[in-house]
């Protein structure tokens, strides 16, 4: 049984000669990404430790803007970079190590869309609730006293 | 006797059966669907971790201060190094796994055997590293005092290093004064009526307080993260007052009830998520070993297909995939 592999990564920018060399290529890429993460994690550049945009204040549009831009408004740029790099690594592990690139479009979507949709939903719900509980605990007049 | 309808007249048509629209075998497809459900389990855990972290966003322990140990380099603070090593080991074993799958496509038994073996070794190193990580985490290093409200107070002093003033942690062992009248653990040999009790903390709060009062340089650090992203250090007077008024329990290391690093949920999630992942790695290694022996025995050679290696490979890569996320959310973010 012949196994066809799609051998280009980065949207055709890099094309490997064989499946084996593609595997090593992806390993090099993943290692570089991990190294970037580790170096950033150790040195923590000051520039990336504070958010670049302050939350908008005002009416409905400001709130909407805060929700839409929440990764930039409420998250440190460093953490945002970490999460993006993690997703990049996840993509290449799934696509090249698990050979998702070679599966049919239908199977790919069954697995990826289902997972991504449910996970996004779960994350949204739980983080939203966590933020709310934080406000209940730590406002000026908290319902629960914790500082003793 | 031919009473069943064998011929339905739909053969070869779209709904006639026998179609494989996804062009994968049943086993491989089911492995993918299992992975989807397992991914949802893990994301449930990680999202719950996120929930708790958002709930205590101003006082969550800083990972770089917790995971600083590297084997054989005792006493040095090297955050990230060890866990980066673990990540690399797991990615490396993922690579050997995919090379085994590739060799299987070429029906190359010797190469499949070699790469499966390397994968198993990689997995074993990872599980061992995780055990070491757990042991270090459970043992703890500086110790702390838990307050009546369940908050953690840690100790340290300001030192000047390279012209920069830094807060350096001090272990409770270095300043606690031993007061002999402290209660001893009740053991079987000391009483007729024996009720087992958990081992007592290394010191009483009073011993810590006496030691703190005797050393002018030591200050207390609370869990609260200030605007600079560092934990708040109290003044000398406030330090003494906090320990005296609110100190309840001396903590060293971590368990499911309390830990010296900060809020108790931190250790709970650490044990639960890395434990669940470690269990996946462990079962992955076991499955890999089974497949490895099947390869050696020539089962797949006779079957004419190494697809089984591919299926277990999918599981193994998934374990790696989960670790990438655990790594980010426990150690980086």
On chain B, the residues whose CB falls within 8 A of the CB of A111 are: 32-33, 35-36
> Do A77 and A95 share a domain, yes or no?
yes
pLDDT at B298: 93
> Do A80 and A111 share a domain, yes or no?
no
Q: Tell me: the pLDDT tens digits for A89-145? A: 999 999 999 999 889 999 999 999 999 999 999 999 999 999 889 888 877 777 777
> Do A121 and A77 share a domain, yes or no?
no
Say if the Cβ atoms of B332 and A90 lie within 8 Å: no
User: CA torsion, points B143, B144, B145, B151, in degrees to nearest 10?
Assistant: -140
> Do A111 and A98 share a domain, yes or no?
no
> Do A53 and A84 share a domain, yes or no?
yes
Q: Tell me: the pLDDT tens digits for B284-298? A: 999 999 999 999 999
Element of type H or E holding A133: helix A105-138
ipTM comes to: 0.90
Where does residue B69 rank: exposed (0-12), middle (13-18), buried (19+ CB within 10 A)?
buried
Q: How far apart are CA B243 and CA A119, in angstroms?
A: 43
The correct CATH number of B26-140+265-332 out of 3.40.50.10190, 1.10.760.10, 1.20.120.80, 3.30.70.1060 is: 1.20.120.80
> Do A92 and A26 share a domain, yes or no?
yes
Residues with Cβ within 8 Å of residue B165, at least 6 apart in sequence: B158, B159
Report whether pLDDT(A3) > 70. Answer: no
Task: Enumerate the β-bridge partners of residue B231.
Answer: B225
pLDDT at A75: 85
> Do A92 and A114 share a domain, yes or no?
no
H helices of chain B, in order, are 26-55, 63-66, 81-105, 109-139, 172-175, 205-214, 236-246, 264-269, 275-297, 299-303, 307-326
Residue whose C-alpha is closest to residue A85's, from A41, A9, A34, A136: A34
Range of the domain at A119: 104-148
Say if the Cβ atoms of B51 and A98 lie within 8 Å: no
Report whether pLDDT(A1) > 70. Answer: no
**76-95 of B, contacting A, C-beta below 8 A:** 79-81, 84, 87-88, 91-92, 94-95
> Do A113 and A91 share a domain, yes or no?
no
> Do A136 and A115 share a domain, yes or no?
yes
Q: Tell me: the pLDDT tens digits for B13-44? A: 777 777 788 888 889 999 999 999 999 999 99
Q: Tell me: the pLDDT tens digits for B195-245? A: 777 777 888 898 999 999 999 999 999 998 888 888 999 999 999 999 999
**Encoding tokens for residue B88?**
């690399």
Q: Tell me: the pLDDT tens digits for B122-143? A: 999 999 999 999 999 999 989 9
Domain with CATH 1.20.120.80 in chain B: 26-140+265-332
Task: Enumerate the β-bridge partners of residue B2.
Answer: none
CB-closest option in A27, A79, A115 to B91: A27
On chain B, the residues whose CB falls within 8 A of the CB of A31 are: 88, 91
> Do A119 and A62 share a domain, yes or no?
no
d(CA A117, nearest CA chain B) in Å: 10
> Do A6 and A58 share a domain, yes or no?
yes
> Do A94 and A148 share a domain, yes or no?
no
Overall number of domains in chain A: 2
A-B contacts at Cβ under 8 angstroms? 149
pLDDT tier for residue B97 given thresholds of 50, 70 and 90: very high
Alpha-carbon distances of B203 from B55, B178, B219, B273, rounded to whole Å = 31, 8, 18, 31
Element of type H or E holding B248: strand B247-251
pLDDT tier for residue B171 given thresholds of 50, 70 and 90: very high
Residue whose C-alpha is closest to residue B278's, from B312, B322, B329: B322
């Amino acid at each position: 049984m012949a196994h066809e592999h799609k051998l280009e990564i980065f949207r055709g920018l890099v094309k490997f000669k064989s499946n084996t060399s593609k595997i090593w290529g992806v390993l090099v890429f993943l290692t570089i990404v991990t190294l970037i993460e580790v170096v950033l994690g150790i040195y923590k550049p000051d520039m990336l430790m504070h958010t670049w945009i302050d939350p908008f204040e005002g009416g409905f549009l400001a709130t909407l803007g805060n929700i839409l831009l929440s990764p930039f408004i409420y998250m440190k740029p460093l953490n945002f970079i970490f999460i993006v790099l993690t997703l990049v690594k996840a993509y290449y592990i799934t696509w090249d190590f698990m050979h998702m690139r070679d599966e049919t479009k239908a199977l790919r979507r069954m697995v990826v869309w289902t997972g991504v949709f449910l996970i996004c939903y779960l994350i949204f719900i739980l983080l939203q609730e966590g933020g709310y509980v934080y406000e209940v605990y730590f406002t000026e007049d908290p319902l629960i006293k914790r500082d003793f | 006797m031919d009473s069943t309808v064998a011929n339905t007249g739909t053969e070869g048509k779209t709904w006639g059966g026998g179609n494989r629209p996804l062009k994968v075998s049943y086993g491989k497809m089911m492995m993918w669907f299992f992975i989807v459900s397992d991914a949802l389990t893990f994301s449930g855990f990680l999202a719950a971790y996120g929930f708790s972290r958002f709930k205590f966003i101003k006082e969550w322990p800083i990972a770089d201060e917790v995971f600083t140990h590297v084997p054989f380099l005792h006493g040095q603070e090297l955050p990230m190094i060890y866990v980066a090593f673990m990540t690399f080991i797991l990615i490396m074993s993922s690579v050997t796994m995919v090379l085994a799958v590739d060799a299987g496509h070429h029906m190359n038994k010797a190469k499949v055997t070699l790469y499966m073996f390397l994968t198993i070794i990689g997995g074993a190193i990872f599980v061992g590293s995780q055990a070491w990580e757990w042991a270090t985490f459970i043992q703890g290093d500086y110790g702390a005092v838990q307050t009546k409200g369940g908050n953690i107070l840690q100790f340290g002093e300001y030192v000047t290093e390279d012209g920069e003033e830094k807060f350096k942690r001090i272990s409770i062992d270095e300043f606690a004064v031993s007061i002999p009248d402290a209660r001893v653990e009740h053991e079987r040999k000391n009483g007729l009526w024996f009720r087992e009790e958990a081992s007592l903390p290394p010191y009483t709060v009073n011993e810590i307080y006496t030691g703190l009062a005797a050393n002018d340089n030591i200050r207390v650090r609370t869990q609260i993260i200030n605007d600079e992203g560092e934990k708040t250090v109290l003044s000398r007077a406030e330090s003494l007052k906090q320990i005296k008024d609110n100190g309840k329990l001396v903590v060293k290391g971590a368990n499911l009830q309390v830990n010296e690093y900060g809020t108790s949920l931190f250790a709970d999630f650490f044990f639960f998520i890395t434990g669940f992942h470690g269990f996946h790695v462990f079962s992955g290694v076991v499955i890999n070993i089974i497949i490895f022996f099947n390869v050696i025995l020539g089962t797949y050679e006779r079957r004419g297909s190494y697809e089984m290696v591919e299926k277990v490979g999918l599981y193994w890569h998934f374990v790696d995939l989960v670790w990438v996320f655990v790594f980010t959310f426990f150690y980086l973010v």
